Structure 1
Amino acid sequence: MSGFALHLLRHGAPATPGLLMGRTDGAPTANGIAACAARAEVLAVERLIASDLRRCRAAGEAIGRAAGLPCAVDPRWRELDFGDWDGKAASMIDPDTLGRFWNDPDANPPPRGESWSTLVRRVAAAINDLAPVPTLVVAHGGAMRAALHILCGFDQRQLWTFDLPYAALLSLRVWPGEPANTQITGLCT
């Protein structure tokens, strides 16, 4: 089996950048949507999926219109739920508490938020349900890092070394049933 291309595209810039936006359904900027559409122009995909949050869904719908593809919506590609921190700037959170979260997000999830392992489980379920056809998923930085963990085996510390700015594109080749054999075929930031 030759595997299939899986492209993960982070949503474009939100109208209010600099916030921990997990479940917060912040609006994207027109420039953010355009940046995502420009990244996707060169991709040959047969399936298009987006997180259900507006900052992903709007980009997915714009890409779909340009490519003549329907955009399926899948909430499993949402960002980590930051609980009580959701919608707040990092500067508004106790730095020691936030530091413990970044050092070990599974042992120190945000108050009333989602643990890292919960995010990984839902992204794994979304990946397992993918048809083996070239696919573009418009998602969030946390969901993209969870996919890298699942498909490539990167640990949490390694995942934070990936710079995933708005409209960042990760291109992977996935062999169904062999997650340890996934390769990153291209990385665009």
Structure 2
Amino acid sequence: MQLYIWRHPKPKQVHGLCFGQSEVAVDRRKIKRLANQIDSYTKKHQLPKQIYVSPLQRSMQVGLYLQQLGFDCQIDERLMETNFGDWEGKPWSKISKDGIDKWCDDFAHFAPAGGENLTQLFERVRAWLKIRKIEEAKPKAPILAVGHAGWITTAKMVCAGKEVPSQAKDWPRPVGYCQLSVLEF
């Protein structure tokens, strides 16, 4: 199966901020621009007008706009970005060096208090991909989604058969805002 997943538009005023599952504002023009881009791509490639989005506004608003263009929009919590727990909404510069060091040293298993670790994110992504593969009516029907950088990076690694990285240096660069990734799973 193929997963066509676009990263959400760039949020406003987030430079230097840890914002995994925090709600952050996105310019409405950027929301509409991405939705129109997805709609055009879908028409050009004759893809189904069904899209999965996370409940975070930067993803969900794209899906709601696509609904106005005739898409079936499914909101799924499993598509959410990593939960950074106590670090959510804080500037990275205000998070303790000790905390960052612990995270980098045990990248697969460390989580800030109340957050999720990378192993948990991998499990969540694998579960979503498996369910999509089972639940889709047509075994090879493409799936469209709007997601988040960490989720997309994880999905790419899962689809490539890679394990959870144990060190931060092994984490790939994130996809760009509004960038499309096409994955086989």
TM over 0.5: yes
Residue deviations 1:20-67, cap 9 Å, x none?
21221222222431342244121343231000111100012223433x
Please report the TM-score for the alignment, with normalisation by the length of structure 2.
0.80
Identity percentage over the alignment?
28
Give the count of matched residue pairs.
170
2:55 pairs, out of 52, 57, 65, with: 52
Distance 2:67 2:169 in 1: 32
What is the rounded CA distance, in whole Å, between the counterparts of 2:181 and 2:23 in structure 1?
Answer: 23
Give the superposition deviation at 1:102. 4.1
Partner of 2:151: 143
Name which one, 1 or 2, has greater alpha-carbon Rg. Answer: 2
SS of 1:124's equivalent?
Answer: helix
The residue correspondences of 1:146-165 to structure 2 (distance < 5 A) are: 146-155=154-163, 156=165, 160-165=171-176
Could you state the TM-score of these two structures normalised by the residue count of structure 1?
A: 0.79
Alignment match, 1:69: 71
1:133-169 deviations in whole A, cap 9, x for unaligned? Answer: 2111111111112211221123536863333122121
Match of 2:22 among 18, 21, 24: 24
In structure 1, runs of 5+ residues without a counterpart are 175-189
Q: Which runs of 4+ in 1 moved over 6 A?
A: none
1:98 equivalent in structure 2: 100
Paired with 1:162 and 1:91, the residues of 2 have a C-alpha distance of 20
* Residue pair 1:28, 1:58 contacting (<8 A) in 2 also: no
Q: Is the 8 A contact 2:109 2:119 kept in 1?
A: no
Aligned to 2:7: 10
1:173–1:161 Cα change, 3 Å:
same
CA distance in 2, matches of 1:39, 1:160: 28
Aligned 8 A contact 2:149 2:174 in 1: no
The whole-number CA distance in structure 2 between the counterparts of 1:90 and 1:24 is 14
In structure 1, the residue matched to 2:115 is 113
Contact 2:7–2:149 (8 Å) recurs in 1: yes
Unaligned runs of 5+ in 2: none
Larger RCO, structure (CA 8 Å, separation 6 or more) = 2
